[in-house]
């Protein structure tokens, strides 16, 4: 029986493990070659206007050793002669630069995506005009130019207006099928008053079949009725490149049916799999950062009431102490984000300004039942050597930040002196009733993996997608 899957890791390594011709619909919104970094934004919660940034992914591909090895793999191993010729020709034109790295790294993934797609399936690749013309060449070779179905232009408003250019207000979505026998469900829009008679007389499919004009007229390949998200919309998250659910709903309804499998190999904040779940499709989501998978797990729980292990599998994240140690040794910052995800903490530290976190790696906010002001839990995550002095430092951070609770998450077992230092901090007592919680709490990764939780009033508001609370008199957004 198929079970929905959220997979942490590089999709280039994961896609070969997926069964051939097992996916009905692929949607991907990979990083564009626009030469800029996207960051996931978290506002500071101390009343100031400063903002810390967490790098969600780099919107660039560099020509490095990995790109060179991938290029050689395409030339030597991929059994598509025209792709070899195209990639060699493009490299002769562009040289070994970042544009070429982007094309090489996307090409090898598109080969795998073609392999896992069913004969009745379709793929939608979302890009911007910066790279669309190059990517279409690659897709024409891999999916066959005759299977190109649409260049969808998604038009939107908002953003800045350049002084010496026309405003750039659209993205490109390439739609390809794998064969001529593909799923497609027509979506209609209401007639405009002047077009009603004309459309009713002339609405035929490309095969000459009369359309059901009572439903309206089929939507075109330019979509100007699906605006970009803003912070005022309920589904908005502080996540870069987030797309509106309405956009994914249109794509998923058009090219899949209930029970079909939808795959997003660059799933980011998870909009595609959220919509797939709502539309009763099965799904596979893949992302390379624990930050993204944490966001997705929170969305699945808050929006749809889905719990990992019960409603879907989480693959690739550490499940034991050894796996956690391996992640820490591989990338200490990814370990930190993953550890914060175990307790539902929002990361606040900036990768752009390492060492400037003021002793805070993450926070949780809650209400105490008396005041409408959010109360704060500050969190520190340590994977290396630990001492009792770090607990004393955490106590000082809690006092400075006027937080109610401090949490110390450690990969290693705490010493006896550390435990004594934590206990000496006393308790945070709720203003209503006699309930109290340790003011300084030490939790090991092993304990968290076994299900232990932070002790605090479970009115957590940290991970909610768009809820405003007052912190020191200011309106802040989570």
Give 347-362 as a 3 state SS string. ECCCHHHCCCCCCCCE
CA dist 445 and 409 (Å) reads: 7
Lowest mean pLDDT among 96-100, 122-126, 351-355, 408-412: 351-355
Q: Is residue 34 over pLDDT 90?
A: no
Asked if residues 415 and 397 have their Cβ atoms less than 8 Å apart, the reply is no
Q: Is residue 4 over pLDDT 50?
A: yes
3-state helix, strand, coil in the chain (%, to 5): 35, 25, 40
Q: Is residue 355 over pLDDT 70?
A: no
All domains of the chain in start order, with CATH: 5-183+221-315 (3.40.50.150), 321-477 (3.40.1350.10)
CA dist 35 and 40 (Å) reads: 17
User: Between 277 and 349, where is the model more confident?
Assistant: 277
Q: Is residue 12 over pLDDT 70?
A: yes
What is the pLDDT confidence band of residue 160, given thresholds at 50, 70 and 90? Answer: confident
pLDDT in tens, 166-198: 988 899 999 999 999 999 999 998 876 545 555
What is the pLDDT confidence band of residue 273, given thresholds at 50, 70 and 90? Answer: very high
**Helix and strand totals (H; E) in the chain:** 14, 22
Which two tokens mark 263? Answer: 């795959």
User: Between 232 and 285, where is the model more confident?
Assistant: 285
**Which whole number is the average pLDDT over 136-155?**
97
Lowest mean pLDDT among 254-268, 368-382, 394-408, 432-446: 368-382
What is the pLDDT confidence band of residue 431, given thresholds at 50, 70 and 90? Answer: confident
What is the pLDDT confidence band of residue 238, given thresholds at 50, 70 and 90? Answer: low
pLDDT in tens, 458-471: 765 555 433 333 33
Helices 388-400, 416-423: axis angle to 10 degrees equals: 20
Q: Which of 152, 182, 157 is nearest to 169 (CA)?
A: 157
207-211, 242-246, 291-295: range with highest mean pLDDT:
242-246
- Run of H or E residues at 81: helix 81-94
**Which whole number is the average pLDDT over 25-31?**
93
Return the biggest CA–CA distance within the chain. 84
User: Between 414 and 464, where is the model more confident?
Assistant: 414
CA dist 466 and 478 (Å) reads: 6
Lowest mean pLDDT among 113-122, 160-169, 210-219, 236-245: 210-219
Asked if residues 103 and 135 have their Cβ atoms less than 8 Å apart, the reply is yes
Asked if residues 414 and 442 have their Cβ atoms less than 8 Å apart, the reply is yes
Q: Is residue 152 over pLDDT 90?
A: yes
261-270, 367-376, 467-476: range with highest mean pLDDT:
261-270
Supply the pLDDT for residue 211: 61
The overall average pLDDT reported for the chain is 85
Supply the pLDDT for residue 221: 95
What is the pLDDT confidence band of residue 369, given thresholds at 50, 70 and 90? Answer: confident
pLDDT in tens, 42-82: 444 444 333 344 566 566 678 899 999 999 999 999 999 99
Supply the pLDDT for residue 48: 37
User: Between 470 and 25, where is the model more confident?
Assistant: 25
Q: Is residue 397 over pLDDT 90?
A: yes
pTM, two decimals, is 0.83
Which two tokens mark 38? Answer: 């996207």
**Which whole number is the average pLDDT over 15-38?**
85
Bridge partners (DSSP) listed for residue 223? 154
Which two tokens mark 220? Answer: 């075109």
Supply the pLDDT for residue 212: 63
Q: Is residue 84 over pLDDT 50?
A: yes
3-state secondary structure of 317: coil
Supply the pLDDT for residue 291: 81
Could you tell me the CA-to-CA distances from 206 to 194, 203, 256, 355, 440 in Å, in that order? 23, 10, 21, 61, 69
């Amino acid at each position: 029986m198929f079970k929905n899957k959220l997979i942490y890791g590089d999709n280039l390594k994961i896609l070969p493990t997926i069964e051939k011709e097992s996916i009905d619909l692929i949607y991907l919104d990979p990083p564009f070659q626009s030469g800029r970094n996207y960051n996931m934004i978290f506002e500071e919660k101390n009343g100031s206007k400063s903002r810390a940034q967490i790098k969600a992914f780099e919107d660039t591909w560099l020509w490095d050793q990995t790109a060179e090895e991938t290029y050689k793999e395409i030339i030597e191993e991929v059994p598509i002669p025209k792709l070899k010729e195209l990639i060699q020709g493009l490299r002769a034109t562009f040289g070994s630069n970042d544009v070429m790295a982007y094309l090489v790294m996307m090409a090898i993934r598109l080969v795998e995506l073609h392999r896992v797609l069913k004969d009745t399936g379709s793929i939608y690749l979302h890009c911007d005009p910066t790279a669309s013309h190059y990517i279409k060449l690659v897709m024409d070779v891999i999916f066959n130019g005759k299977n190109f179905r649409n260049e969808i232009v998604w038009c939107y408003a908002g953003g800045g207006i350049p002084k010496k250019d026309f405003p750039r207000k659209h993205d490109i979505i390439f739609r390809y099928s794998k064969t001529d026998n593909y799923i497609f469900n027509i979506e209609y829009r209401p007639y405009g008053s002047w077009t009603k008679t004309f459309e009713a007389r002339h609405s035929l499919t490309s095969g000459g079949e009369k359309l059901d004009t009572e439903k309206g007229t089929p939507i075109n390949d330019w979509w100007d009725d699906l605006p970009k998200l803003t912070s005022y919309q309920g589904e908005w998250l502080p996540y870069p490149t987030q797309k509106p659910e309405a956009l994914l709903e249109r794509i998923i309804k058009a090219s899949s049916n209930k029970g079909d499998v939808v795959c997003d190999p660059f799933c980011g904040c998870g909009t595609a799999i959220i919509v797939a779940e709502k539309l009763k499709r099965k799904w596979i989501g893949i992302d390379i950062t624990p930050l993204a998978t944490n966001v997705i797990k929170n969305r699945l729980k808050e929006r749809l009431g889905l719990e990992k292990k019960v409603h879907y599998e989480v693959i690739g994240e550490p499940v034991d102490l050894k796996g956690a140690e391996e992640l820490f040794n591989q990338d200490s910052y990814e370990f930190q984000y993953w550890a914060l995800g175990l307790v539902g903490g929002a990361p606040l530290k900036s990768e752009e300004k390492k060492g400037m976190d003021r002793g805070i790696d993450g926070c949780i906010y809650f209400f105490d039942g008396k005041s409408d002001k959010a109360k704060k839990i500050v969190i520190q995550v340590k994977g290396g050597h630990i001492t009792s002095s770090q607990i004393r430092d955490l106590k000082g951070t809690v006092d400075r930040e006027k937080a109610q609770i401090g949490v110390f998450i450690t990969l290693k077992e705490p010493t006896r002196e550390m435990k004594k230092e934590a206990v000496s901090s006393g308790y945070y007592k709720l203003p209503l009733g006699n309930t109290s919680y340790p003011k300084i709490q030490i939790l090991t990764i092993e304990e968290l993996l076994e299900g232990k939780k932070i002790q605090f009033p479970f009115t957590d508001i940290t991970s909610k997608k768009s809820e405003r609370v007052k912190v020191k008199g200011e309106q802040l957004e989570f």
